[in-house]
Amino acid sequence: MKKVLIICTLLLTVGAFGQNDEAYVDGLTQEFTQKLVERNITQYFTVKHYCSGKIEMFQIGKERKMCSSKGTYYKVFVVWKEEDNVHVKKIDNCGLFYSIPLTDTAIYDFFDQNKSDLASEEVKQYKSATYTGTPELRKQPQPCFRSFSFTEAGNTSVVSYNLFDLSNEKDNLNFEYNNQRKAVLLDAQLETLLATSEGNMRRQI
């Protein structure tokens, strides 16, 4: 009986804390970017990473409370420049992370220099060179996505794509075109940056 009570208590704790969906993440992102605007920072970009149906769970704070995504886990990165320093902030289903400064400004410089192309280019859907009209399991779209928003002086453009559209050099007729889009090149730079810096990001408790 005692074991049952303990299990029920744990389940209630998990259920009561931090099961937030995409709307929650979008709301936090909007609130944060609005604060940037209030500080006269009107040029920045965000990118949302997610894989449909993938759930993440974390223990947060000294009390090790549980937080799990409600459905799909979303994480957003906001990149901006302030007083000659470039910063990145992470936001996910479980809340905000402290912003961190970047020692290298290359990712923001790329954004600044390619604003026009970033706002107008689109990633094309995967197009098979050998498609016969019969569905093939190996060509099913993958569930992972990127969704960028680029903001300059109050104008925002959005570019979203399925990572599957970037795959399979031999069979995808749009492989070369897609992998040269500026948003895809920017994402590659961000992935390199996050490989060394994401582990240093700490949650705001």
State residue 3's pLDDT score. 44
Contact 124, 164 (CB under 8 A): no
Q: For residue 155, what are the β-bridge partners? A: 152
Average pLDDT over residues 114-135: 86
Separation in Å, CA 163 to CA 12, 120, 130: 36, 19, 20
Lowest mean pLDDT: which of 9-18, 131-140, 164-173, 195-204?
A: 9-18
Domain ranges (residues) in the chain? 2-129+137-200
State residue 13's pLDDT score. 44
pLDDT tens digits, 29-45: 999 999 999 999 999 99
- 120 sits in which H/E element: helix 115-120
3-state DSSP assignment of residue 189: helix
pLDDT over threshold 90, residue 139: no
